[in-house]
Structure 1
């Protein structure tokens, strides 16, 4: 593909852009990269208090791991979601924020989006490493599923980068996009089984029954991110492989969204300097 050829020829530029993003996030702070753990930890504390102790959401214990710790169950969903939203939000600002560079120098514009993804992937990898250690200490066996987890992280990175390419280009033409996407993410967060188990939706779906031949659960499963969350929970919290159907859907979604995003981005990138 042309994107890989362009990035291969611009390896040094991609590396420098990625390191600029990594170092720039927490520049001149006392804790540096440790701040990347602060936001997910704060979310864990807040959501654990609200949904476990106030609303009393109780997901099933990990099968077959036997884990029954809400905070770990929660983080298996929050960390992938945070990575995805960070990549898309960062991607939307990558082109607009580098307007002067794009207008002055020619280079593969995709390097800006890929470096954004790689910088967030670096932070996410540290967060996931801490989660794996915590699960192992508290009785799970996540090390047995490290390779599938790394592959799944790569697939989600593809999915997020493709979505970022589409949204970044939309934001170039319509600057309202970043604000609309921010609202969409707030709604989408609660449409995912992150702070509550999917079994709660299934129970309500069975109670309500089908409407026009379609159940609530069938509509719920149209959400693409549902499959990523279920896959990460299966690997890390349950300590087992996801269902083959889940794996197939994740692979198809990741590759398809990336290819569509790249196709759209490649078509419009020659005019970026003019539009910006």
Structure 2
């Protein structure tokens, strides 16, 4: 509880660091904030071409929205994933990159990875706003679901923040962590139904049956991925325009709670020795 009060007391510093990250990222660029859309849009075009026109992946039309636009369906999962990947990549390196500051100035160290979450969240809000406009243009009825979308965004932000806190500490003591993260994120993305529907996995799982003579199936293992349930929240709210399943909410709340609590505990235990470790 005392540590949470310490973080709350450093809220002004956190705000300043977050805005520094936001302003510095696109400083002296012509497009400015619009650059935050370039990466997800480029990925959307590539994945749409490969998976829609080459491999011919066909997700179900939105129910009850009736939407059947692969690029929009893809963005509903891709934007949350891009936010998560950004927070983990940049958050994990936030302590090492600010080693000189940590060694020379006394302040609440946790604001460094949390500032990454804040700046990534700022860009993500902008991207999601553009997505909502695009959904409305193609016929989606998104506006009534925006409050629940914001809840889902908070849950993902907490989940990502917890992972970033733990990985930032790990990266201080084991510099191999940053290389492991890039590989793990690539694997994690393809194990999450972002560029393909989860129904494909369920269908193949039924065909394969139990693994090694057990009742455990590929789908059982696949559905343990918390990001699958978080992506389901966004897809169901934004693309389908309906309430997500209760199980997806439970998984998302649980993943967010466990991640942020563990992240705070791990960071608190190692925060005081950071200057020496760096």
TM tier relative to shorter chain = over 0.9
Counterpart in the other structure of 1:209: 209
Cα distance between partner residues in 1 of 2:162 and 2:15: 20
The residue that corresponds to 1:52 in the other structure is 52
* Matches for 1:129-168 after TM superposition, within 5 Å: 129-168=129-168
Q: Which residue of 2 aligns with 1:4?
A: 4
Q: How does 1:8-23 map to 2 (within 5 A)?
A: 8-23=8-23
Cα distance in 1, alignment partners of residues 219 and 11 from structure 2 = 45
- CA distance in 2: counterparts of 1:70 and 1:48, whole angstroms: 7
Q: Is the 8 A contact 1:3 1:110 kept in 2?
A: no
- Could you list the per-position Cα deviations for residues 76-128 of structure 1 after superposition, in whole angstroms to 9, with x for gaps in the alignment? 11000000010011111110011011011111111111111000000000000
**Any idea what the Cα deviations from partners look like across 1:144-202, whole Å, max 9, x if unmatched?**
10000001100100000000001100000001101111011111111010010001001
Q: What is the rounded CA distance, in whole Å, between the counterparts of 1:5 and 1:29 in structure 2?
A: 38
**1:21–1:119 contact (8 Å) kept in structure 2:** yes
**TM-score normalised to structure 1 length:** 0.98
Offset, 1:241: 1.1
Counterpart mapping for 1:1-276 below 5 A: 1-211=1-211, 212-276=214-278
Q: Distance in 1 between matches of 2:2 and 2:133?
A: 39
Spell out, residue by residue over 1:232-251, the C-alpha distance to the aligned partner (whole angstroms, 9 max, x if none).
Answer: 10100000111111101100
Alignment partners' CA distance in 2, 1:194 and 1:10: 36
Deviation of the 1:7 alpha carbon? 2.6
1:117, 1:157 within 8 Å by CA — same for their partners in 2? Answer: yes
Q: What SS does the corresponding residue of 2:93 show, helix, strand or coil?
A: helix
How far 1:14 moved relative to its partner? Answer: 1.1
Question: Equivalents in 2 of 1:11, 1:196: separation in Å?
Answer: 40
Gaps of 5+ in 1: none
- Paired with 1:61 and 1:242, the residues of 2 have a C-alpha distance of 16
1:142/1:273 CA distance change after superposition, 3 Å? same
Deviation at 1:2, TM superposition (A): 3.6
Distance 1:245 1:183 in 2: 29
Moved over 2 A (4+): 1-4
Partner Cα separation in structure 1 for residue 78 and residue 2 of structure 2: 33
